[in-house]
Amino acid sequence: MAEYSAFSLLKNALTGNKDWKPAWRKPDPKASYDVIVIGGGGHGLSTAYYLAKEHGITNVAVLEKGWLGSGNVGRNTTAVRSNYLLPANTRFYEHSMKLWENLSHDLNYNVMFSQRGCLNLAHTPAQFDDLARRGNAMRHLGVDAELMTTADIARLVPALDVSGSARFPVIGGLMQRRAGTARHDAVAWGYARGADRRGVDIVENCEVTGFLRDGDRITGVTTTRGEIRAKKVALAVAGSTGRVMQLAGIDHMPIESHVLQAFVSESLKPIIDTILTFGMGHFYISQSDKGGLVYGGDLDGYNSYAQRGSLPIVDEVMSEMLALFPGLARVRMLRSWGGVCDMSMDGSPIITTGPLPGMYLNCGWCYGGFKATPASGWCFAWTIAKDEPHEFNAPFTLDRFYRGLVIDDKGQGATPRMH
């Protein structure tokens, strides 16, 4: 695989772009591996990359039932942030942020990480106090946070309605300036290329249909391309976790699968130079490099494995956008899509060994899967390689729900769709 550089870009531009080499191989699966990672999305690919890079484990296969990046890694609104309240989440997502800040250099692949900031709006004094509490908690753990006044926000986002006649008056906000966005496809491609260069086999169109066992121990998988054995089998399949775990005989998991829609508008001149979230509903928006407004809102109100959503959520999201930006009323929506989110009981992820010997589990990402991609793979690789968690993912066990050690950043209780 060739390195990417300004020289190679110029050379191929002058030769009709005919000499680019494939970014990764298309190997047939071998009979056995040291580690199998099920799921060729961001978390599965980053896990394989860090297994090879950090732990020297290169006899690894990533099995993807479709094409690489066809799941949630390519079906999100690309936000990256670490502005959490509870210490376990703050430390984990801040570790992810630090990995993001050097990711393009590390992968030799431009993931287009743009640190344009994330601004959470407050619409009541109580909400502003709550944001101040969260900001103080962040700063206590060394994470950047800044309270902003209405005047500050008006200068930053002139298109936002901050007038006294706004339906939901803006009285302030919390800004994390190191937050930003990245190109989701580039993240998948960069990790795939990096893993492949270190000897990992990325096997596409290879759906897992069952598990091989020696007693209770998982010793491999059956797939649409034959049996594959492994010393360790890791799952990183997001909203399909419940269905894949059923293949291993585990019928009940502390997660639910829900559809989360996202939208993009026609291209506009730059009007929003940050990520902005609505305080009186669930809505978030940013603007892509192409000029399209990228935005989303709440989950659809039912469990589903479909990668498409319903019209009531479309109406709700558009209403919230216009409450903040009345001037966007005539902007046309270009397209929409849906991702299947694995919603945990407390809104925090699960990165752990088990629940069966030889199995490792990565799931429960709720809305936070994309921004967690680097830290998720880094911590999951550590857990697989050492058979114990790193301190960053030690709190995210599967048995924390049984033990009452929930990590509920929003305080919503055991209601997955509310997180």
| CATH code where residue 159 lies | 3.30.9.10
Report yes or no on 385 lying in a domain: yes
- Same domain? For 269 and 232 the reply is no
Residues 176 and 269 in one domain: yes
Pair type for strands 350-353 and 79-80? unpaired
- Residue 238 resides in a domain: yes
Q: What is the mean pLDDT of each run of 10 residues along the chain (419 residues)?
A: 77 88 93 98 97 98 94 92 97 98 95 97 97 98 98 97 95 98 96 96 97 96 98 96 95 93 96 96 95 95 84 94 96 93 94 96 94 98 98 96 92 80
What does the alpha-carbon distance between residue 175 and residue 276 come to, in Å, rounded to a whole number?
A: 9
User: Domain check: are 350 and 227 in the same one?
Assistant: yes
Burial level of 287, CB count in 10 A (0-12/13-18/19+)?
Answer: buried
Residue 410 lies in a domain: no
Residue 224: inside a domain, yes or no? yes
Task: Name the token pair of 307.
Answer: 């990668």
Residue 399 three-state SS: coil
CATH number of the structural domain spanning residue 199? 3.50.50.60
Q: Determine what percent of the chain falls in helix, strand and coil, rounding each to the nearest 5.
A: 30, 25, 45
Spatial CB neighbours of 312, under 8 Å, sequence gap ≥ 6? 300, 301
pLDDT attached to residue 19: 83
Residue 102: count of CB within 10 angstroms of its CB = 11
Residue 87's φ and ψ, nearest 5 degrees, are -55, -40
374 occurs within a structural domain:
yes
- What pLDDT does 224 receive? 97
Note the pTM of the prediction, 2 decimals.
Answer: 0.95
C-beta contacts of 312-319 below 8 A and 24+ residues apart: 313/261, 314/261, 314/263, 316/281, 317/261, 317/263, 317/283
Asked if residues 84 and 419 have their Cβ atoms less than 8 Å apart, the reply is no
Last residue of a domain, one of 344, 359, 393: 344
187 near 111, Cβ under 8 Å? yes
Residues 250, 260, single domain; the answer is no
Q: Clarify whether residues 316 and 358 are in a common domain.
A: no
Please give the Cα distance from 369 to 374 (Å, whole number): 10
387 domain residue, yes or no = yes
> Are 151 and 193 found together in one domain?
no
CB distance 209 to 228 below 8 Å: no
- φ/ψ of residue 314, rounded to 5: -60, -45
The separation between the first and the last C-alpha atoms of the chain, rounded to the nearest angstrom, is 41
Q: Are residues 73 and 118 in the same domain?
A: no
In this structure, the answer to whether residues 197 and 340 fall within a common structural domain is no
| One domain, residues 194 and 50 | yes
Q: Is residue 13 part of a domain?
A: no
Per-residue model confidence (pLDDT) at position 1: 53
Q: For residue 81, which of 112, 48, 116 has the smallest C-alpha distance?
A: 116
DSSP labels, 28-54: PPPSEEEEEEE--SHHHHHHHHHHHHH
Q: Do residue 315 and residue 374 come from a single domain? A: no
171 and 260, same domain (yes or no):
yes
Quote the distance between the C-alpha of residue 267 and its chain's center.
24
* 297, two tokens: 């809102």
User: Looking at the structure, do residues 244 and 267 belong to the same domain, yes or no?
Assistant: no
Give the separation between CA 243 and CA 135, rounded to whole angstroms: 38
Q: Which two tokens stand for residue 135?
A: 């900001």
Structure tokens at 139: 């700063």
Q: How many domains, in total, are found in the chain?
A: 2
The verdict on residue 18 lying in a domain is: no
Q: Is 71 left (phi over 0), alpha (psi -120 to 50) or beta?
A: beta
Q: Which pLDDT score, from 0 to 100, does residue 305 have?
A: 86
Domain that holds residue 276: 111-180+256-344
Which two tokens mark 242?
Answer: 């419940």
